[in-house]
């Protein structure tokens, strides 16, 4: 049984305020407990208002490391790069922003191996994996295609993999890096933010389907062992 609590807001601004408050609390609690905090953030457009509200908070940013939970294989200054938005917002505050994609890998599979090795220098598990979802049901960069089953069934030690979506998503039709299902599920906290009625119905359907869901988001949630908060705004 997937335990999900939906938090509904009147608009994106209200959602951003609430989610930024929750993440600030996670950061403070992690630093109290362990002296540092590791966060994995989603890319795409939905999280941007939350980034902005979170950046307004007075927090010990120098003790915070932020990674993208997935990345598009594009140069870091490309508009589609997930690390770009994270770096622009949080680097000026003093946070450590840690890219998972280092350009120059021969292909997306090798880029996945390199990213996995990079992540192994961080202290896993993260305090938070914050996920988004596309209208096709992908989360992080877990897309249907030749790599999906391996990313879903990856062993505990495999944190990141190269992913070739098939079909390619319309918005950013590029190869990807993604946290594996196992890496996501090891997080101390998982939250999801989505907007719009279409995404809500897709997510509710995936939750209802449970273990039999064909969608990446459903396959991840089906294996969660603690309650997940979903933040939704129209």
Ligand X SMILES: O=C1O[C@H](COP(=O)(O)O)[C@@H](O)[C@H](O)[C@H]1O
Q: Which residues bind ligand X (CB under 6 A)?
A: 42-46, 70, 82, 132-134, 141, 172
CB-nearer residue toward ligand X: 9 or 36: 9
The least CB distance from residue 152 to ligand X, in Å, is 17
The C-alpha atoms of residue 21 and residue 223 are separated, in whole angstroms, by 27
Sign of the dihedral defined by the CA atoms of residues 132, 133, 139, 145, in that order: negative
Q: To the nearest whole angstrom, how small is the minimum distance from the Cβ of residue 80 to ligand X?
A: 8
CA separation for the pair 54, 184 (Å, rounded)? 22
The least distance separating ligand X from the CB of residue 31, rounded to whole angstroms, comes to: 25
How far apart (Å, rounded) are the C-alpha atoms in residues 32 and 48? Answer: 27
Residue with Cβ nearer ligand X (142 or 154): 142
Nearer to ligand X, 65 or 81 (CB): 81
Nearer to ligand X, 42 or 112 (CB): 42
Give the strands of the sheet with 70-72, arranged side by side.
70-72, 176-179, 160-163
Q: Whole-number minimum distance, CB 103 to ligand X, in Å?
A: 17
């Amino acid at each position: 049984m997937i335990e999900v609590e939906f938090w509904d807001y009147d608009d994106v601004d209200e959602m951003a305020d609430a989610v930024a408050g929750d993440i600030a609390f996670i950061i403070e609690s992690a630093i109290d407990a362990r002296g540092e905090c590791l966060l994995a953030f989603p890319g795409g457009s939905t999280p941007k208002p939350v980034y902005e509200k979170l950046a307004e908070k007075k927090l010990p940013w120098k003790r915070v490391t932020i990674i993208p939970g997935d990345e598009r294989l594009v140069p870091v200054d490309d508009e589609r790069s997930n690390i770009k938005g994270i770096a622009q917002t949080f680097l000026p505050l003093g946070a450590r922003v840690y890219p998972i994609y280092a350009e120059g890998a021969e292909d997306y599979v090798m880029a996945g191996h390199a990213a996995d090795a990079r992540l192994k220098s961080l202290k896993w598990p993260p305090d938070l994996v914050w996920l988004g979802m596309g209208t096709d049901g992908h989360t992080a960069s877990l897309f249907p295609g030749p790599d999906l089953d391996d990313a879903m069934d990856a062993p505990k030690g495999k944190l990141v993999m190269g992913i070739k979506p098939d079909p390619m998503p319309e918005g950013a039709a590029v190869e990807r890096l993604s946290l594996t299902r196992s890496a996501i599920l090891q997080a101390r906290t998982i939250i999801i933010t989505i907007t719009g009625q279409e995404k809500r119905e897709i997510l509710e359907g995936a939750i209802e389907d449970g273990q039999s869901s064909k969608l990446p988001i459903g396959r991840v949630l089906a294996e969660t062992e603690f309650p997940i908060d979903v933040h939704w705004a129209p």
